[in-house]
Structure 1
């Protein structure tokens, strides 16, 4: 019964995490005005900035701390190991949803692209391409492992959890963090850049880069020269910014380590 409960818990966590990402995407570019971050201004500029900074820290700190191996080793002494990842997904989903829901509007307009022009449609193509890259990246890692379902499903089948070998394929040949790259594209490609959206985009972009630096440190500790060689010839998030020594990358990493690129 306990195994079924853990599997049900992981499904609930997955749905909450996935829903929060959709909520985040749909809150941008006035795709659904009712949940857009570009609402009427409610607070003074200093208070709004202070509140937004607090929301970013509330999301970013647990998101990074819980991704570290030391925290995982600690928390699995208190909860069953198969639901550790699902618990991470749950807190990340809830805090991302809170971040978007409570984001304080700032007003102002930085740029506006005229609707119906080629540039307007090109921006939306890049916007959706970015989110497509983000979701594709989760499957290149292993979508269900990344979101915690594989761990509880294996437990349900009485099979031991084994780390997956990760081949540097597809997008990972061009950037080390395609998931973050996709998210950044989704944040910045907008036909109307308001002050609200600008601060939102800057805050999360900064977090993506800081989070990537922490993950790179862990990956270098885990894989040493193998990961350093991969990093030396593969850009972090911007394709074609480094020369490659070879067209083929043979690095093989485990999914548990590179899954942290989604954290």
Structure 2
């Protein structure tokens, strides 16, 4: 089961990245014609269904705990689970239309693309990803099964790799403004590096 689960996560990461690539989007959009504006919606639905399949596969198979966790580990994980959920909730609520991709149906609500460092972006450049990583590892510590370890590890690997590629895209898009933001605010872990003279430019997610 573990080998299959890992393979499914690899497939998810590869297809998710491939379909998000600009060249692939351009080629597919050329065949979609007038429906090309819904590409991101179809892409997100496909990713959501594939993710749902992976989760179903993992929890439809029996699993076992890898170790007997101390009480203090469970307490710490439970405490950290709350801020993880709060961080994700804030990000999802703030960027609901963009993250749910229904913004393609409401052009007036589409993201302006403006750079910001307000709110959670004062602490990390990608707060949604930070919240996701904190969430999956807290869940593993609460339920330390082999499946949860594989899922947490694969999600972490994909998130880090995906974030690095996204950073390159953001530097191309926003130039010096984003480079300055990188120098002032850490990518995923708060307070690793921080410049007190922070400017007002950054990346919302």
Task: Quote the Cα distance in structure 2 between the aligned partners of 1:148 and 1:249.
Answer: 30
Is the CA contact (8 Å cut-off) linking 2:5 and 2:147 kept in structure 1?
no
Match of 2:39 among 77, 80, 84: 84
Deviations 1:161-202 (A, max 9, x none): 673424221111111111111111111113332222222211
Gaps of 5+ in 1: 1-47
Is the CA contact (8 Å cut-off) linking 2:2 and 2:147 kept in structure 1?
no
Give the aligned partner of residue 13 of structure 1.
none
Give the aligned partner of residue 227 of structure 1.
178
Give the aligned partner of residue 113 of structure 1.
70
Give the aligned partner of residue 91 of structure 2.
137
Q: Indicate whether 1:207 and 2:162 are aligned.
A: no
- Alpha carbons of structure 1 residues 92 and 198: separation in structure 2 relative to 1, 3 Å: same
Task: Quote the Cα distance in structure 2 between the aligned partners of 1:251 and 1:105.
Answer: 48
Q: Indicate whether 1:178 and 2:113 are aligned.
A: no
Task: Quote the Cα distance in structure 1 between the aligned partners of 2:158 and 2:54.
Answer: 13
Task: Quote the Cα distance in structure 1 between the aligned partners of 2:111 and 2:65.
Answer: 51
Give the aligned partner of residue 191 of structure 1.
142
Give the aligned partner of residue 127 of structure 1.
81
Task: Quote the Cα distance in structure 2 between the aligned partners of 1:130 and 1:49.
Answer: 26
Task: Quote the Cα distance in structure 2 between the aligned partners of 1:196 and 1:153.
Answer: 39
Structure 1 length-normalised TM: 0.67
Match of 2:50 among 89, 92, 95: 95
Q: Indicate whether 1:59 and 2:12 are aligned.
A: yes
Task: Quote the Cα distance in structure 2 between the aligned partners of 1:108 and 1:162.
Answer: 43
Match of 2:2 among 49, 61, 73: 49
SS in 2 for 1:165: coil
Task: Quote the Cα distance in structure 2 between the aligned partners of 1:161 and 1:134.
Answer: 20
- Alpha carbons of structure 1 residues 65 and 135: separation in structure 2 relative to 1, 3 Å: farther
1:90 to partner: Cα distance: 0.2
**Structure with the bigger percentage of helix:** 2
SS in 2 for 1:76: helix
| Two-structure CA RMSD over aligned residues (Å) | 2.4
Q: Indicate whether 1:239 and 2:205 are aligned.
A: no
- Alpha carbons of structure 1 residues 200 and 160: separation in structure 2 relative to 1, 3 Å: closer
Task: Quote the Cα distance in structure 2 between the aligned partners of 1:133 and 1:81.
Answer: 32
The 5 A counterparts of 1:14-29 are: none
